[in-house]
């Protein structure tokens, strides 16, 4: 159990970290980009070698709190003159053995940026595999990883009154939510995780985060929220003996049931117009595609929900098993690796699983009436930028506007091309006309879309001057085609371009 964090000690430590220049950028500059990237892969020796014998505060704190390496007590006292070694110990971050300070937790700086600006947090979490020198304990509290960064970036950057972070872990989602949500409740089944959430809130000077112990929606029974965010313990884990059940990733259910349970219960806890965002895995079972199963969960929700689900990647059972066995610190060639992989493969075989998808779910309780958004898509490409939350918010706004607008209203609208959109034309050698015209998106999901000459001409003409209907009529005359037929063909595709962010209302 982590000690209850003392506000005065947290403020003192924050001041020490600021004075030391303890930022992600400063540390990366100190030990180099290659060593910094190696830390994420569990290799700390390149960074330690780069620091050499440096005894300045940044180097001492980098070794102690980022790499998880013991340091001389005198050096640590000089690095944290306000909090002191005693303060670090009272926060549960270190223990003292003679003249040596040994880390009990990590504190790593984490930069962030969204539409409202940029900044940096210090995020405390448990020691990783490199610092422990072996597999993680089952009650391990994870720091900021790739999935948590992704979800933080997905959060809508629009104002809301009350938010909920389900499965808070170290508290990164609650911190991110507080940038736009006035009050956040953070829940977890782990008292230690909630201790880290409280510590990180105090360390970063973020107020109005309340922590509650319990599973899924049990701690908030009967309550509703404008925003709900969750990086749930969605990793599919065999329910057999001798397979570690890590609290940070294993929800204790069979297969993808934890994500199904979240989807089934979230609607009752959303206010009208409220939005839930989460990450998840879903199984393709005996020919039933994973996204179709997710659609079934959503359509079966007791509270009708708008839905936008994006599958970002999929893995075969063997690749999935190897990924998560390694994630727990059991590496290929070490005792138990093959046994654990076999346990995963047996579990998948029992349910007829042929593929596991990973992606994002955005669910919204309609402010009024029936759901109007049901979008399920596979986008197996890298995200194009940091502003994905802004992109999602703009897409929802465009959708809501388009739902209320018939084709006559759309024809009367004036549109502009989004500034991140480019066009590529591919010609056969010597050919005058292109064989392929492609629109590419520099932000959002980085979509690439093949278009025909009519749609390409319309997009190119959307400069905020003339209405869509006038442009379509002019293009029809230029191409020598029927204007009514061209309008019927283009209007649904213009709606799609508005939703996906290629076009915007002027």
Task: Evaluate if residue 112 carries a pLDDT over 90.
Answer: no
Which of 322, 357, 386 corresponds to the end of one domain? 386
Give the three-state DSSP class for 74. Answer: helix
> What is the DSSP code (8-state) at residue 112?
E
Statement to judge: residues 198 and 331 lie in one domain: yes
Statement to judge: residues 377 and 250 lie in one domain: yes
Res 1: pLDDT: 78
420: Cβ contacts below 8 Å, ≥ 6 apart: 384, 441, 442, 443, 444
Res 72: pLDDT: 97
When pLDDT is averaged across residues 436-444 and rounded to a whole number, the result is 93
Statement to judge: residues 192 and 340 lie in one domain: yes
Res 240: pLDDT: 84
Statement to judge: residues 420 and 363 lie in one domain: no
Which of 93, 109, 125 corresponds to the end of one domain? 109
Note whether residue 17 is domain-resident: yes
DSSP 238-257: --STTS---TTTB-SSSTTH
Q: What residues does 270 pair with on adjacent strands?
A: 225
What gap in Å lies between CA 459 and CA 89, rounded to an integer?
61
Question: pLDDT of 371-428, one tens digit each?
Answer: 999 999 999 877 766 679 999 999 999 999 999 999 999 999 999 999 999 999 988 8
When pLDDT is averaged across residues 203-224 and rounded to a whole number, the result is 97
> What is the DSSP code (8-state) at residue 267?
G
Tokens, residue 83: 């909090």
CA distances from 427 to 55, 432, 438 (A): 61, 7, 12
What gap in Å lies between CA 462 and CA 457, rounded to an integer?
9
Task: Evaluate if residue 350 carries a pLDDT over 70.
Answer: yes
Note whether residue 168 is domain-resident: yes
Q: Do 85 and 76 touch, CB atoms closer than 8 A?
A: yes
Res 386: pLDDT: 63
Note whether residue 483 is domain-resident: yes
How many independent structural domains does the chain possess? 3
Statement to judge: residues 86 and 178 lie in one domain: no
Task: Evaluate if residue 94 carries a pLDDT over 80.
Answer: yes
Statement to judge: residues 359 and 270 lie in one domain: yes
Statement to judge: residues 278 and 358 lie in one domain: yes
Statement to judge: residues 161 and 273 lie in one domain: yes
Q: Do 141 and 196 touch, CB atoms closer than 8 A?
A: yes
- pTM value? 0.94
Mean pLDDT (the chain, rounded): 94
Note whether residue 340 is domain-resident: yes
Q: Which residue has the higher pLDDT, 198 or 331?
A: 198
Task: Evaluate if residue 115 carries a pLDDT over 80.
Answer: no
Statement to judge: residues 289 and 338 lie in one domain: yes
Note whether residue 118 is domain-resident: no
Note whether residue 486 is domain-resident: yes
Tokens, residue 222: 């009967």
Q: Among 135-139, 162-166, 267-271, where is mean pLDDT lowest?
A: 135-139
Res 116: pLDDT: 66
Tokens, residue 435: 């064989």
Statement to judge: residues 373 and 410 lie in one domain: no
Domain that holds residue 93: 7-109
Q: Which residue has the higher pLDDT, 381 or 256?
A: 256
Note whether residue 158 is domain-resident: yes
Statement to judge: residues 377 and 413 lie in one domain: no
The domain that holds 237 is classified in CATH as: 3.40.50.150
Q: Do 471 and 458 touch, CB atoms closer than 8 A?
A: yes
CA distances from 155 to 29, 175, 177, 291, 418 (A): 29, 11, 7, 22, 21
What gap in Å lies between CA 421 and CA 381, rounded to an integer?
17
Question: pLDDT of 469-500, one tens digit each?
Answer: 999 999 999 999 999 999 999 999 999 999 99
Segments in 68-158 forming alpha helices (H): 73-79, 84-90, 129-132, 146-154
Q: Which residue has the higher pLDDT, 116 or 63?
A: 63
Statement to judge: residues 326 and 273 lie in one domain: yes
Res 66: pLDDT: 97
Res 364: pLDDT: 98
Note whether residue 166 is domain-resident: yes
Query: Which pLDDT band, with edges at 50, 70 and 90, does 252 fall under?
Result: confident
Which of 87, 109, 131 corresponds to the end of one domain? 109
């Amino acid at each position: 159990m982590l000690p209850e964090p003392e506000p005065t000690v947290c403020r003192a430590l924050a001041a020490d970290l600021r004075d030391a220049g303890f930022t992600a950028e400063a540390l990366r500059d100190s030990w180099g980009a290659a060593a910094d990237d190696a830390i994420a892969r569990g290799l700390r020796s390149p960074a330690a070698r780069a620091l050499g014998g440096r005894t300045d505060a940044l180097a001492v704190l980098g070794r102690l709190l980022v790499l998880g390496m013991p340091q001389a007590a005198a050096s640590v006292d000089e690095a944290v003159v306000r909090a002191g070694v005693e303060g670090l110990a009272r926060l549960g971050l270190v223990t003292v053995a003679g003249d040596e300070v040994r880390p009990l937790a990590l504190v790593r700086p984490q930069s962030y940026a969204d539409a409202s600006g940029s900044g940096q947090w210090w995020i405390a979490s448990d020691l990783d595999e490199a610092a422990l020198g072996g597999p993680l304990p089952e009650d391990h509290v994870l720091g900021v990883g790739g999935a948590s960064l992704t979800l933080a970036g997905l959060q809508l950057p629009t104002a809301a009154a009350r938010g909920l972070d389900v499965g808070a872990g170290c508290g990164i989602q609650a911190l991110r939510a507080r940038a736009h949500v006035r009050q956040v409740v953070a829940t977890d089944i782990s008292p230690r995780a909630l201790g880290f959430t409280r510590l990180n809130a105090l360390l970063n000077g973020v107020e109005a985060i309340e922590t509650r112990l319990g599973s899924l929606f049990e701690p908030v029974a009967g309550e509703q929220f404008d925003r709900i965010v969750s990086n749930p313990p969605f990793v599919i884990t065999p329910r057999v003996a001798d397979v570690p059940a890590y609290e940070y990733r294993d929800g204790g259910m069979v297969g993808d049931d934890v994500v199904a349970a979240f989807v089934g219960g979230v609607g009752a806890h959303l206010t009208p117009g409220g939005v839930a965002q989460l990450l998840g895995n879903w199984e393709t079972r005996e020919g039933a595609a994973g996204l179709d199963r997710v659609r079934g969960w959503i359509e079966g929700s007791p509270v009708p929900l708008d839905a936008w689900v994006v599958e970002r990647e999929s893995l075969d059972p063997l690749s999935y098993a190897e990924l998560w066995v390694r994630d727990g610190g059991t590496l290929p060639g070490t005792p138990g690796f093959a046994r654990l992989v076999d346990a995963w493969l047996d579990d998948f075989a029992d349910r007829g699983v042929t593929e596991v998808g990973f992606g994002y779910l955005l669910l919204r309780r309609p402010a009024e009436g029936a759901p109007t958004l049901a979008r399920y898509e596979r986008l197996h490409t890298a995200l194009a930028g940091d502003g994905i939350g802004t992109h999602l918010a703009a897409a929802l706004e465009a959708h809501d506007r388009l739902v209320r607008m018939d084709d006559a209203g759309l024809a009367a609208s004036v549109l502009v091309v989004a500034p991140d959109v480019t066009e590529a034309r591919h010609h056969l050698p010597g050919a005058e006309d292109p064989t392929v015209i492609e629109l590419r998106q520099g932000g959002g999901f980085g979509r690439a879309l093949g278009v025909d000459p009519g749609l390409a001409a319309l997009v190119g003409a959307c400069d905020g001057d003339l209405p869509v209907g006038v442009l379509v009529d002019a293009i029809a005359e230029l191409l020598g085609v029927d204007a009514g037929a061209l309008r019927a063909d283009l209007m649904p595709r213009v709606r799609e371009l508005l939703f996906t962010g290629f076009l915007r209302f002027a």
